[in-house]
Structure formats: structure tokens, C-alpha cells
Amino acid sequence: DQQVKQNSPSLSVQEGRISILNCDYTNSMFDYFLWYKKYPAEGPTFLISISSIKDKNEDGRFTVFLNKSAKHLSLHIVPSQPGDSAVYFCAASGGNDMRFGAGTRLTVKP
Amino acid sequence: KAGVTQTPRYLIKTRGQQVTLSCSPISGHRSVSWYQQTPGQGLQFLFEYFSETQRNKGNFPGRFSGRQFSNSRSEMNVSTLELGDSALYLCASSFLDSFTDTQYFGPGTRLTVL
């Protein structure tokens, strides 16, 4: 069962515009959420996280929003840069479980 | 400090064989987790080891096993390989708890089962 879903397998945006990547989860025990970025031939690298006591966390160009009632989180990248082109995974943990989404491939066009 | 290393990087096996993958965590990290990545499935959690003990386990059959040594290095073993086991296997280390600490991933081992 897919307890963490990223419904968009791919996203293409223009350089300088906003990229919004979405993630939905079903398990109400999840209380910690993370985003990872993965380039080809490399392991995922941590990007940003948020705990369930917050609804927003910001780090430079990256902001993660959490809507607990909707069991939805999103990652905003502003402004998007060509170097941001990668696969982005959301992850959720809690209740002795950790799940990842299937990933969204972001392409930022110059 | 050196990152997470995994060996080998690529492996080709045939059905029915067994395979052992190795992971060396970042120095000082005591938690090591293993993941399977297949197209369309994202990362699926296999298990987590801490202080030589399996602490958490994902939903994989018993053919998938692991262990951790006193220096925190970890190995993962898959017995009686099946075609569907072809995947990228990633290990990640974290300081204490893979579920709440930032995980640092290795480059992965690409396993192909023929």
C-alpha cells in the first residue's frame, strides 16, 4: 500500500518561476516529513524537513508547507534554477515506520 | 568527513543465487538503514540497524536480511534471488535514529538479476 503518494511523476518549469511539488500521506501516525533530492547515479540528499507541530519551514529558496488536516505537504522552490533539475522524494516517518513517495522528476528549463 | 560508501556499485547475478551488499556509514553514525528503489516504486524501506541490532523492519520477505558490525558497518543479504529483486539498493546512515535524524545516503548498489 502506498502510504505516501506523489501523484505527479514529472514537472517542468521555466527558470526563475516557482516549482511546487506535492505529496499526500494516509497514515495519521506520521509526524515528521522530509524532502530529498536525487541526481542520477547519486544517492538522495536531504533537502528540508518539517515536524507535525509546524505548518511551514523555510530554508533559502526552499519552503515546505504541511497541512495536517488534509494530510498534504508541498515543497516550493523559488526561484527555480536549472541546477534544481532532479528527482524529488518526499518521506514521512512516525509510529516506527518510514515511507517514501515514488518521486517527482523536476526539469527546470533555462 | 567521508560520506557513506557502498560496495560493490554494480552487480549481476542469476536467479536463485544469493548476494551480499556492504555499507560503511559516516564516521560516528550508529544507525544504518537499507532501501530498495525500483522504477515507479520510489524508495522502499527494508530495515534499520542500530548498535548491531535490527530496530525497524519494512515489509519485505525473509529472503532479505542484514546485520551490523560493532564498527557500525552493515551488510545486506538477499538469498534465492528473483528477477523482481533487480533494483538500486541504497543504504543511509544517521547519527542515532533514521526516522528523526537526517539520513545521508550512499550512491547505491545496482543489482541486476538475470
Question: Cβ–Cβ of A32/B90 closer than 8 Å?
Answer: no
Q: What count of other Cβ atoms lies within 10 Å of the Cβ of residue B87?
A: 20
pLDDT of A1 > 70? The answer is no
CA dist., res. B74 & res. B49, Å (int):
8
CA dist., res. A53 & res. A40, Å (int):
33
Residues of chain A found within 8 Å of residue B45, distances taken between Cβ atoms:
97-100
Question: Cβ–Cβ of A101/B92 closer than 8 Å?
Answer: no
pLDDT recorded at residue B99: 81
DSSP string, B54-70: EEEE-S--TTEEEEE-T
Residue of A nearest to B9 (CA): A41
Closest partner residue to B105 among A45, A93, A98, by Cβ? A45
Count how many pairs of residues, chain A against chain B, have C-beta atoms within 8 Å: 53
DSSP string, chain A: --SEE---SEEEEETTS-EEEEEEE--TT--EEEEEEE-TTS--EEEEEEETT-SEEEETTEEEEEETTTTEEEEEESS--GGG-EEEEEEEEETTEEEE---EEEEEE-
Closest partner residue to B56 among A32, A89, A96, by Cβ? A96
Closest partner residue to A44 among B45, B100, B105, by Cβ? B105
Pick the residue with more confidence: A68 or B97?
Answer: A68
* CA distances to A34, A52, B38, B80 from B11, in Å: 30, 40, 15, 15
Give the mutation candidate from B99, B101, B105, B109 for the A interface (greatest A CB count, under 10 A). B99
Q: Which pLDDT band, with edges at 50, 70 and 90, does B38 fall under?
A: confident
pLDDT recorded at residue A57: 95
Q: Which of B30, B24, B21 is nearest to B94 (CA)?
A: B30
Q: Which pLDDT band, with edges at 50, 70 and 90, does B30 fall under?
A: very high
Question: Cβ–Cβ of B43/A91 closer than 8 Å?
Answer: yes
pLDDT recorded at residue A84: 97
CA dist., res. B46 & res. B32, Å (int):
11
B7, B22 contact by CB (below 8 A):
yes
Q: What count of other Cβ atoms lies within 10 Å of the Cβ of residue A95?
A: 12
Residues of chain B found within 8 Å of residue A46, distances taken between Cβ atoms:
102-104
